[in-house]
Structure 1
Amino acid sequence: MNTLPPAPVWLAEEPWLQELLLWFIGKLEKQRSRDVTRLVKQKTVPALFDFSEDTKYRWELIERELVQRYQVFSISSARRSKQSQEPYENVQLRLNAATEPLLRHWLNRPRISPEEQNWQAAIDLYAHHFIDHGAALRAQRLTLPGYSSVQLVAGIASAGTLLGQSLTLREISAHCFLGNSKVLDNRQELLTRLFGDSISSLIERPLLLTAWAPAGFSKLLFIENQDTFLHLTEQPPSNSALVYSGGFRASASRLISSATRFAFLPGSDADGFKASWKQPSIQAFFWGDLDYAGMGILRALRLSLPHLLSWQPGYRQMLNALHEGAGHTPEQGGKGGQIDPIETGCDYADQQLLPALRMAGRFLDQEGFHSRTTGSIADTPSALN
């Protein structure tokens, strides 16, 4: 709870005094070895020498309020060399550093960390490279272990010079950040604010998926995990093409874009697959881990293929095993951070699988349920409790 007194009314009425106090705060934010002081002269505090105003009252505010009442300053007098000299001329104001929190509270000037200061200073150096003069970076400080603020801002500034050169975002990142290709991942909105329409010149990074596709297939099954995918290619479901989605990779919005590339296993009808896999007439399914992440993949895939459903022949085995007590807790599987997707849009998943996961509080991985071991986990639930 903040127990500092509110700013006095007279402070709002005297902008010159706010400026004086801000000057002292600014000095506190710089490295120093001595107390912060200011000698009162016409050049340093001109408001006290503007005799069209009540300068006597202005000085009384400093003496009575800031020195005596709030103890913001202590003052030391100088010898007066002229009789006509103002009583405060050449007086030295010495800031009481203990009142810094009070002044920051009055002036709404929170302390800036050294890291934030370095970030702002780095933006100042490179602001002319950005169409918004770095405003987007000032509002969103980036941090990356081992990189200084100057290295980060300089890297982003240099990214602008590479736009228009037929490069992907990861290629640009590698050029600008010491060979690190992932710094700019998920930062296209930021880059748009910094560089405008030139960001449209980026080449979309292809999505690479592995597929097995027999001629004349009528069903398409996305499989989350590699082991299960390979086993099913040996004993595939009838009339089905198989795609190894590799977790969330295939759930990207670019799944159905022209940038998607497929690597086909031997025996595949690659041309037939490319011509028909996105057609609504092809029944599409997903089978993955029976956990919240797997359900999240299902939900995300449906954003690209709205007709896609959960694959019941695979999930039914897993659901039966879960009902019989099989499965691991989120903590046992290192899945404590998984989030319930609430719903996927697939009736079977929303009405059967997700309620079962919530009730059981346990998960099952897909690798235990391929054609060579069907039923093995359900037969021995006690071994996996």
Structure 2
Amino acid sequence: MTVESTAARKPRRSAGSKAGTTGTKRTTSNTPKKDSDPDLVQLLTPEGTRVANPEYDRYVEDITPQQLRGLYRDMVLTRRFDAEATSLQRQGELGLWASLLGQEAAQIGSGRALRDDDYVFPTYREHGVAWCRGVDPTNLLGMFRGVNNGGWDPNSNNFHLYTIVIGSQTLHATGYAMGVAKDGADSAVIAYFGDGASSQGDVAESFTFAAVYNAPVVFFCQNNQWAISEPTEKQTRVPLYQRAQGFGFPGVRVDGNDVLGCLAVTKWALERARNGEGPTLVEAFTYRMGAHTTSDDPTRYRLDDERAAWEAKDPIARLRAYLEASNHADEGFFAELEAESETLGRRVREAVRAMPDPDHFAIFEHAYADGHALVDEERAQFAAYQASFADVEGGR
């Protein structure tokens, strides 16, 4: 199938999901989709079986066993780093952490679909994409430890700084993509956001501008089923990918726990963008296995049975099953990777604990190029506040 015919197809609509339909029973969005669901692009089943897909197979047909092992390694090491960061926060070494547990396939699959000259606008959970872009994991932790405002140069890896404001990065990505088009470049832009952010006005405005200006941008929504404690079914009456229809560009839903599916669909969407065919919405249907952040307690709003159902669809376990069944990896590979994983965990732990405290007054240094009376006043107030601690200690 050609790119033109793929791009021209209308996004699939599941039976009974038409907006405004009444009298029909709606399924809970947080229930894992059946493997036979026609809405879901899937190349690798939860059992690790490779299934054919005539629309997307060509995007992964030349993948080698070495590349498959690389995808597995990416996911394992990303999960290990994420687990270490969570532990560091629990030990008081980080102020906060947003875990990606369960979303490794969506991030690694889409991240490995990118070219070096493509540009990424992440949220605050794209640790796997950062890994794919060559950002050192320890650089992600400086902000969460409070020692810097980002930790890396976005231009070095074409990976923007983490964005905490929900949904705003989609506007940044759309504007950047409009600039790419005006410059005549053939690169693409990708914006990551969650199902909760899809309800933000910023995202709707991004869709409007991207469609009108035919911007080369891929909107990659990781639908992990929960916007903190709010389930997806409370945010939309139709599957999220179908929202693209109303803005005039394609949308597709992919199994977000299938790394091959995410790789193929993202390659397709990026190819459309580079060919001047405009934006695409990709909904990676996945699940957040952990808390929204380390300040959240998911046991207060979701059932253990739900998590157990999604554990059976674990992205790492299914790729391992495929590697083993295809004789693409042996026990030596898995053992070596386990050792590498533990080495990464130690390196991250040691690096975080060795991070120097920042200069307390650095925050005032780069607010204005030529200084400002209000900043000077605030600096003086902060200096007096800091001095008060010295006075207390001296009086003991």
Decide: shared fold, TM above 0.5. Answer: no
**Which of these two proteins has the greater Rg computed from alpha carbons?**
1
TM-score by structure 2 length? 0.19
